[in-house]
Amino acid sequence: MRVHGRYCVSSGLFDLLVVGAGRSVVLPVPGQESGRPSGAAGSRLVGLVRGGPQDELVLPTEDGPRFLPRDHVVSEAVSGLDPLLGLTLVRSDYDPVVGTATTATGDVLGYAARLLADELVGVAEGALALALEHVRERHQFGVPIGSFQAVRHRLVDAYVDAEGARSLLAAIGPDAAPDVQALVLKASAGAAALRCVAAAQQVCGGMGFTAEFDLHRYVRRALALDALLSGSEAAEEHLGALALRGRVLPDRQVVLT
């Protein structure tokens, strides 16, 4: 997924990795999460899927995954901030079937959050690569603007953010307990991606805000992905609440088992 983020591409790989072939995972609509997102309000389903709905939709809930056949779902393409992300709004009044948790669907949201974090790190890396290319080629006062100390400091700070999120992904393996760890990864990667695209826009100047320059694709993708499964700020607040209950050490981002 990191390569997807680095080049701002979309495919069916996200659903394939989270819930397997022929299925789509239903994500809660941003702003409608309540604690650990469930994606459902009563028996009525309102959520988002990436790309068009597959043959079966997997709805993560507090009681385990539930399943909906595609025939019972009404879908509507969402343009939003990042039309190329391919989000689709799905609705259904059909009561989903309770499923048995398996390796593929036991903690769908935790695994989905980890993949989103990986993709966000790729977005951060892609934005920085674009910014570096620009500051090497753009000249002012007869020298590349990348030679100016203020520009270098801004990009170094952004690189540290991206590298920190990438290292955290490597440190917390995919087999770790998914709930708190996934939240840590998503919060770290989302914050890093937002800071990196902001730094890239800063050093690219007015060019960074034009549609002709590819940076706008990374800005849109970072904002859209960060909003899925709770934004980085909301995730950090939730981690703070967990820390008060003794579940995490926020200064080291170490998860207690």
- How would you write the pLDDT of the chain (257 residues) with one tens digit per residue? 888 888 888 888 888 888 888 999 999 888 775 433 344 444 467 899 998 888 999 888 777 788 888 888 899 988 888 988 999 999 888 776 665 544 445 578 888 889 999 999 999 999 999 999 999 999 999 999 999 999 999 999 999 999 999 999 888 866 554 567 888 899 999 999 999 999 999 999 988 888 889 999 999 999 999 999 888 888 888 888 877 877 665 444 444 44
Q: How confident is the model at residue 33, as a pLDDT? A: 58
Q: Give the pLDDT confidence score for residue 237 in this predicted structure.
A: 85
Q: How far apart are CA 189 and CA 233, in angstroms?
A: 11
pLDDT of residue 250: 46
Strand partners, 49: 88
Q: What pTM did the predictor assign?
A: 0.87
CA 22 to chain centre: 22
Enumerate domains of the chain plus CATH numbers.
2-98 (no CATH), 108-255 (1.20.140.10)
Taking alpha carbons only, the member of 204, 167, 206, 201 closest to residue 184 is 167
Look at residue 199 and give its three-state secondary structure. helix
Task: Encode 209-245: b = buried (16+ Cβ within 10 Å), e = exposed.
Answer: eeeeeebbbbbbbbbbbbbbbbbbebbbebbeebeee
The encoded tokens of residue 4 equal 């997807």
Say how far apart CA 108 and CA 21 lie, in whole Å.
14
In this prediction, residue 38 carries a pLDDT of: 42
What is the C-alpha to C-alpha distance for residues 107 and 98, in angstroms, rounded to an integer? 14
pLDDT recorded at residue 194: 96
Sign of CA dihedral 8, 65, 32, 188: negative
The pLDDT of residue 201: 95
Q: Which helix (H) or strand (E) holds 254?
A: strand 254-255
DSSP class of 31 = T
Task: Provide the residue type at 223 as one letter.
Answer: L
Q: Give the span between the Cα atoms of 216 and 209, in whole angstroms.
A: 6
The pLDDT value given to residue 11: 83
How many Cβ atoms sit within 10 Å of the Cβ of residue 156?
11
Cα–Cα distance measured from residue 46 to residue 50, given in angstroms and rounded to the nearest whole number: 14
